[in-house]
Amino acid sequence: MSYYITTDATCDFPQELLNNFDDFKIIPMAYTIEDIEYGIDKTLSGKEFYDKVRNGAMPTTSLITTYTATEFFRPILQAGNDILHICFSSALSSTYQSVLIAVEELTKEFPDRKILMLDSKCASSGEALLVYYALTARDKRMNIEDNYSKSIERRDHLCHYFTPNDLFHLMRGGRVSKTAAIAGSLLQIKPMLYVNIDGKLSTIDKLKGRKKALLELVHHMQEKMIPEENEVIFISHADCIEDAEFVKEKIIEKTGITNIVLEYIGPVIGSHAGQGTVALFFIGKDKIEPNDDLLKNN
């Protein structure tokens, strides 16, 4: 029954839960800010990272290379362990393809070992929540094949809703136009986004005012969630703990769920989301919205 579960640094796995699990490893990912590379040999705290972003620094990120993934997995396999790897959404990054090549090569090198790789179609703490449930299932003695199948089933119900506060950061990342960023900031327009069933980012709505946007996160959860399936709720934030706490309090008030874990959005995802983003992750009836690309194509 022994096998490792691995993931990558985009998962923003909560620090307070890291020590709860053995045989669990995270592939580090590099990011560069102010011409200094972090993420591998040295890193920044969430506060330090977002202070730099707040002061105008524009970070960049790097993919996990096939070489990095191979060197990460090989010692685990050499020690006689199988691996269930849960990867960042293939629709949001080419990291999936790089890691897949590594897995294919290592499968030939270690024919007696199992390496099952799953496209999470998730991001940030949504990916972390999928990993958390896989770790919990393994520690309850679920075998690797059943855990892989259950994780695939669960990912199509793992809802991600988030609202950024800084449209100018989205503009610099090419997500919105300069005109939209200026107009939105003047009018206090806050977009509501989600990760759809294909693992892509999509916009649900544009709301006026920060508080309304935060309350809308909770509203979507109330509409979508399956209470008995939510052992824990994850909330991540880009250095705006007060807003994350506000969402947490409203969830407790509206649903009675109290097992809610807050975590920083890490530098890799934060490089694209920007300071002030708040995100909510839970198990829902589905992860399809009326404007979903999947529906448009059918």
Q: What is the pLDDT of residue 26?
A: 97
Which of 5, 235, 270 minimizes the C-alpha distance to 131? 5
Name all contacts of 101-104 with Cβ < 8 Å and 24+ positions apart.
101/66, 102/66, 102/67, 102/69, 102/70, 102/73, 103/69, 103/73
Question: Region 210-234: what's the mean pLDDT?
Answer: 95
Euclidean distance between the first and the last CA atom of the chain, given in angstroms as a whole number = 41
Residue in the block written with tokens 């996990």: 64
Q: pTM value?
A: 0.92
Q: How far apart are CA 109 and CA 104, in angstroms?
A: 9
* pLDDT per position as a tens digit, 97-122: 999 999 999 999 999 999 999 999 99
Reported as a pLDDT band with limits 50, 70 and 90, residue 186 is: low
pLDDT at 293 over 60: no
Using alpha carbons only, what angle is made at residue 243 by residues 255 and 120, rounded to the nearest 5 degrees? 70
**Which two tokens mark 39?**
């993420």
